[in-house]
Amino acid sequence: MNYKRSVHLLWNNKSEELKAEETCNIREIEKVVANPVFNNESIFEHRKATLASDYEMKNHYYYGDNYDLLQVLAQRENVRKIDLIYIDPPYMTELDYYSRISVGNFSDTWHINRKAFQDTWAGGIDSYLDMLYTRLRLMRQALAENGTIFVHVDWHSSHYVKVLLDEVFGAENFINEIVWCFGGGSSSRKHFQRKHDLIFWYSRGSEYVFNQQYRPYSQGTMQRGLTAVKGDRYKLNDEGAVLQDWWVDINKILSPTARENLKFPTQKPKELISRIIKTASNPGSLVADFFAGSGTTAEVCNQLGRDWILSDTSKLALQTSLYRLLRSDSPPFTIVAGEENCLEENDQTILELKKPVFLQSDKDECLLEVGIEYYWPKQDERPSSGHDFASNIEFWELDLNYNGKFFNSCYQVIREKQRFKAPLALNLIVHVPLKTSYCIAVKVYDVYANQTVEVMTF
Ligand X SMILES: C[S@@+](CC[C@H](N)C(=O)[O-])C[C@H]1O[C@@H](n2cnc3c(N)ncnc32)[C@H](O)[C@@H]1O
Based on the shown chain and the rule CB under 6 A, indicate whether residue 71 belongs to the binding site for ligand X. no
Based on the shown chain and the rule CB under 6 A, indicate whether residue 307 belongs to the binding site for ligand X. no
List the alpha helices (DSSP H) in 358-440.
none
Near ligand X by CB under 6 A: residue from 59, 148, 203, 266? 266
Ramachandran area for residue 83 (φ above 0: left; ψ -120 to 50: alpha; else beta): alpha
Based on the shown chain and the rule CB under 6 A, indicate whether residue 296 belongs to the binding site for ligand X. yes
Near ligand X by CB under 6 A: residue from 59, 71, 203, 314? 314
Near ligand X by CB under 6 A: residue from 83, 88, 167, 380? 88
Based on the shown chain and the rule CB under 6 A, indicate whether residue 341 belongs to the binding site for ligand X. no
- CA distances from residue 430 to 42, 80, 354, 398, 427 in whole angstroms, order as listed: 13, 37, 14, 10, 10
Nearer to ligand X, 413 or 449 (CB): 449
Based on the shown chain and the rule CB under 6 A, indicate whether residue 392 belongs to the binding site for ligand X. no
Near ligand X by CB under 6 A: residue from 66, 71, 281, 285? 66
The whole-angstrom separation of Cα 410 and Cα 401 is 9
Distance of closest approach, residue 136 Cβ to ligand X, in angstroms = 12
The whole-angstrom separation of Cα 42 and Cα 61 is 31
The whole-angstrom separation of Cα 147 and Cα 149 is 7
The three-state (H, E, C) secondary structure of 432-448, written as one string: EECCCCCEEEEEEEECC
CB 308 within 8 A of CB 216: no
As a whole number of Å, the end-to-end CA separation of the chain is: 72
Based on the shown chain and the rule CB under 6 A, indicate whether residue 134 belongs to the binding site for ligand X. no
Nearer to ligand X, 279 or 314 (CB): 314
Nearer to ligand X, 146 or 313 (CB): 313
Give the nearest residue (CB) to ligand X. 293
CB 152 within 8 A of CB 293: no
Pairing mode, strands 196-203 and 174-181: antiparallel
Distance of closest approach, residue 13 Cβ to ligand X, in angstroms = 18
Based on the shown chain and the rule CB under 6 A, indicate whether residue 267 belongs to the binding site for ligand X. yes
Near ligand X by CB under 6 A: residue from 34, 49, 65, 148? 65
Please count the residues of this chain forming the interface with ligand X, following the rule CB under 6 A.
19
- Rule CB under 6 A: which residues touch ligand X? 65-66, 88-90, 117, 264, 266-268, 291, 293-294, 296, 311-314, 317
